[in-house]
Structure 1
Amino acid sequence: MKKIFNAVLIVFIILLTVPIFAAFESFVLNVSATVDDALTIDAPLIEFGTVFPQEQIDKFIKIGLSASFQNEITADEVSYMIRQKPKCGQVVAGTQPVVYSAFAQSSEDAGGNFICPEGFVKLPTLCPYLSKIDVDTLDQNDDPGISAFHGSINNWNASTTINTQVNGMLSKSTQDLEDAWKIDLKVPCFKDECAQDWNNFVTTINPDANPADYIQPQANKKQMLGCDIWIEVTKINGGKTMCGDGIKQTPNEMGTGGPNNDGNEDCDVADGVTAGFTCTNNCVLQPIAQCTPGQTRTCETGLLGICAAGTQTCVDPGNWGSCVQNQQPINEICTNGVDDDCDGFIDGDDTDCQQACFDKTDVMLVLDRSGSIDSGEMVSLKTAAHSFVTSLNPTADGNHMGQSSFSTYGSLDLHLTGNKALIDNAINSLAVGAFTNLMEGIVYASNELKDTNITYERPTVPDFMIIITDGIPNRPINTPTGKAQAISAANTAKASGVTIYVIGVGTDVDSAFLSNDIATDPAHYYSVANYAALNITLEQIANCQ
């Protein structure tokens, strides 16, 4: 039985709660299956989001004994292992970067190599960049884990999976009912683009790693990387020693010659009793209650910030249940010294709080949707725009935002509003067109920001325009006309008091034209290498850097 746990560079990881109770069965997170429950895997939705080289992002999962297993007197321990295997995807024909319509599990051939089902291919592997670290401080029966930068990025096979697996164990008799593991991502760099401290970055995490072995080829840039993490139950042990004539014992069943075999096993407890249990007068093995049903106690969830504190409730007949977090993450409050959104960052260190520059403003996004933008770049553009909206935190009495966009023709996509959901919907509705008509994108935004537009624009607040483009205007008519009309539209907007920021994406833009003729001044022009880097620049603008 199998459940899939996915991790990809445009990364999301979804962990579902899945019960298991069968030795040598396995599951991979994300595909539902049920056997008699012995383990539960419990974690929230985990998103790495859009990531950049040498970022380090920590996420956590919890593995615990189920309530039914805890109440079963014939079983005590569950051993399991955590493994990494290649991820298989079904390619959508003609897409670049590659888009996958479905994912599947890999299997092994006779030579110990992982193969994909027919019609599927292996994604470039992310496995070497994921750690598996035991973060429990109370139990000593789990492997300490393995840091990132292990295995091969070119030939991850069954031998690699075995050599990099980690093992864990849960036990009722020692009150080790739940393990917490950190699954963190150390983001790779690409050939000829690594930072000067790449070697130090790698060896600080894993001193035995060769940094050159973990540089991704340029061919994988903008591609989706993946890895399946499997949690496999390897063994279930019964209760240690039980009591009573005719009661099944492990290993001291009548006549089996256990370590303290005393013949017919009178109810004398001569062979001892399983830890955590007592032998009643009528030779019934009965759990010793750890607590009174309904009783509660504090616990640690293994999560971060306000999500770290939890509560355990005593369940019948007297066992502590799983640790349930007391608070769900909320939007970061930037002045209270607390990690409110459970991402490991507090107040000024949290990007959600780096938004003080735009206070009460009217802001129009002017977004390029011409045919030079491929599907992957459009995803990056939308992701960055969503983050920018979150940074400005539009409200009825605070920042208002609207949107125009342009391809062969421009369009007004959304009037100025303080409703974040409407702004996000407008961004999501962007679709790639053909040519580049920057002028019409500016005109629609400029008209929306006019003081005479009393329905949507607020005359007393500052007006801003954020233009994002990756090309040179070639409409209306041709490039000279397109440029001239865009300059005229920008000058009209600036004359009315609008501050214009411009971001030129890639190498096909005319930076001098955008910087000198469209932006308010060269200080309001930003150049980025690609759409994947757009998010950082928009954060800088949000903070007036």
Structure 2
Amino acid sequence: MKTKLIIGLAALGTSLVILPLFAAFEAHVVNVTARIENALFVQPESLEYGTVFPQEHLDSSFFITFSQSFSTASQERVGKVDYVIKQKPKPREDRVAALGGVEAARDWCHLNAPVNPGDPNDPYYTDCYPSLCPYLSKHPDNIPASGPNALNDYGLPPFHDPELSYASGTLVKFNSNGTTINNDPNDTWTIDLAVPCFDGYCAQDWADFVHGLNPVADPDDYMVPPTLEHQVFGCDLWVEVTKIY
């Protein structure tokens, strides 16, 4: 114990002797600031299909462009934005506060699942809508059709796994040479709802309906339990920026 105490004091003494050798005689401060803005603007904020019926195929759309800050003429540092369109389960509006706010509610619905998907009284459905996500397609506008930015968006058919599949796109303010010829400053996405049928009540051409929209999908995987009839289904589409350059 005595030896340890002496070593400790010796180390302290060394520190006191050496410290002045590293004292600063001059200092400069670099102030760092940045204004953080969103890169994209999406309109409208919601899509409503109302009451629908099995095997209906209904179209809607939304528009993506640069935000006002990105669009301003003085913003010449970056000219492209890559993004993806993901789909996640939708929280019920009247349960958002109880789940901790919008972001927490969305996370809760995404990270959890009903124990019995066919039971409308499953506790999960108290907080989250039955999922409409697998039945929503995303089709790009295919504009521009020529030039360096042609066909730079990639869609997704209905009857897919929302956890594994998503659409993607690129917006182009100006080209690498600084011109705006055949640029791509906005995208209009068509969102198709391919309405599912209820298991045990599907029409004979259900498989043809599914394969006509997605040839690789298994029609049996996308039938809805009949106990969910009269329920409102929902899905949140997330437009997420993946790269700015």
Length-normalised TM-score, structure 2: 0.66
Matches of 2:236 and 2:126 in 1, distance apart? 15
Matches of 1:233 and 1:45 in 2, distance apart? 19
Aligned-residue CA RMSD (Å): 2.7
Matches of 1:190 and 1:220 in 2, distance apart? 8
1:136, 1:181 within 8 Å by CA — same for their partners in 2?
no
Provide the residue aligned with 1:380 in structure 2. Answer: none
Matches of 1:45 and 1:172 in 2, distance apart? 26
Deviation digits for residues 155-192 of structure 1 (CA, Å, limit 9, x no counterpart):
xxxxx52x211211111223210011111101111012
Provide the residue aligned with 2:94 in structure 1. Answer: 101
Provide the residue aligned with 2:111 in structure 1. Answer: 114
Residue-pair matches, total: 181
The structure with the largest strand share of the pair is: 1
Matches of 2:128 and 2:198 in 1, distance apart? 19
Q: Structure 1 pair 62/168, CA: closer, same or farther in 2 (3 Å)?
A: same
Matches of 2:210 and 2:184 in 1, distance apart? 34
Provide the residue aligned with 1:329 in structure 2. Answer: none
Matches of 1:132 and 1:188 in 2, distance apart? 17
Pairwise CA distance, 1:77: 1.1
* SS of 2:79 mapped into structure 1: strand
Counterpart code for 1:133: H
Provide the residue aligned with 2:89 in structure 1. Answer: 86
Q: For structure 2, which runs of at least 5 residues remain unmatched after alignment?
A: 1-35, 97-101, 114-123, 176-182
2:143, 2:184 within 8 Å by CA — same for their partners in 1?
no
* SS of 2:50 mapped into structure 1: strand
1:58, 1:185 within 8 Å by CA — same for their partners in 2?
yes
Q: Which of the residues 122, 129, 142 maps onto 1:123?
A: 129
Counterpart code for 1:135: D
Provide the residue aligned with 1:135 in structure 2. Answer: 141
Counterpart code for 1:101: D
Between the two proteins, what is the percent identity of the paired residues?
A: 39
Matches of 2:229 and 2:205 in 1, distance apart? 20
Provide the residue aligned with 2:239 in structure 1. Answer: 231
2:143, 2:151 within 8 Å by CA — same for their partners in 1?
no
Q: Structure 1 pair 210/192, CA: closer, same or farther in 2 (3 Å)?
A: same
Q: Structure 1 pair 107/37, CA: closer, same or farther in 2 (3 Å)?
A: closer
Pairwise CA distance, 1:131: 0.4
2:80, 2:171 within 8 Å by CA — same for their partners in 1?
yes
Counterpart code for 1:114: L
1:141, 1:168 within 8 Å by CA — same for their partners in 2?
no
Provide the residue aligned with 2:186 in structure 1. Answer: 178
The answer to whether the aligner puts 1:148 opposite 2:158 as a matched pair is yes
Matches of 1:234 and 1:64 in 2, distance apart? 15
Provide the residue aligned with 1:76 in structure 2. Answer: 79
Provide the residue aligned with 1:167 in structure 2. Answer: 168
Provide the residue aligned with 1:61 in structure 2. Answer: 62
Pairwise CA distance, 1:56: 0.8
Matches of 2:87 and 2:38 in 1, distance apart? 23
Matches of 1:115 and 1:106 in 2, distance apart? 10
1:88, 1:120 within 8 Å by CA — same for their partners in 2?
no
Q: Structure 1 pair 178/191, CA: closer, same or farther in 2 (3 Å)?
A: same
Task: Map 1:253-272 to 2 at 5 A.
Answer: none
Q: Structure 1 pair 164/124, CA: closer, same or farther in 2 (3 Å)?
A: same
Q: Structure 1 pair 219/119, CA: closer, same or farther in 2 (3 Å)?
A: closer
Provide the residue aligned with 1:205 in structure 2. Answer: 213
Length-normalised TM-score, structure 1: 0.31
Q: For structure 1, which runs of at least 5 residues remain unmatched after alignment?
A: 1-34, 90-99, 152-159, 238-545
Provide the residue aligned with 1:364 in structure 2. Answer: none
With a CA cutoff of 8 Å and minimum separation of 6, indicate the structure with the bigger relative contact order. Answer: 2
Matches of 1:207 and 1:47 in 2, distance apart? 27
Deviation digits for residues 278-299 of structure 1 (CA, Å, limit 9, x no counterpart):
xxxxxxxxxxxxxxxxxxxxxx
Matches of 1:125 and 1:45 in 2, distance apart? 16
Pairwise CA distance, 1:144: 2.5
1:127, 1:226 within 8 Å by CA — same for their partners in 2?
yes
Q: Structure 1 pair 195/129, CA: closer, same or farther in 2 (3 Å)?
A: same
Q: Structure 1 pair 63/123, CA: closer, same or farther in 2 (3 Å)?
A: same
1:141, 1:169 within 8 Å by CA — same for their partners in 2?
no
Pairwise CA distance, 1:36: 1.5
Matches of 2:143 and 2:244 in 1, distance apart? 23
* SS of 2:48 mapped into structure 1: strand
Deviation digits for residues 444-480 of structure 1 (CA, Å, limit 9, x no counterpart):
xxxxxxxxxxxxxxxxxxxxxxxxxxxxxxxxxxxxx
* SS of 1:146 mapped into structure 2: coil
Matches of 2:128 and 2:236 in 1, distance apart? 11
Provide the residue aligned with 2:42 in structure 1. Answer: 41
Pairwise CA distance, 1:125: 1.0
* SS of 1:194 mapped into structure 2: coil
1:81, 1:168 within 8 Å by CA — same for their partners in 2?
yes
Matches of 1:145 and 1:108 in 2, distance apart? 27
Pairwise CA distance, 1:44: 7.8
1:86, 1:114 within 8 Å by CA — same for their partners in 2?
no
Deviation digits for residues 195-237 of structure 1 (CA, Å, limit 9, x no counterpart):
1111100000000011111110012111121111101111211
Q: Structure 1 pair 143/136, CA: closer, same or farther in 2 (3 Å)?
A: closer
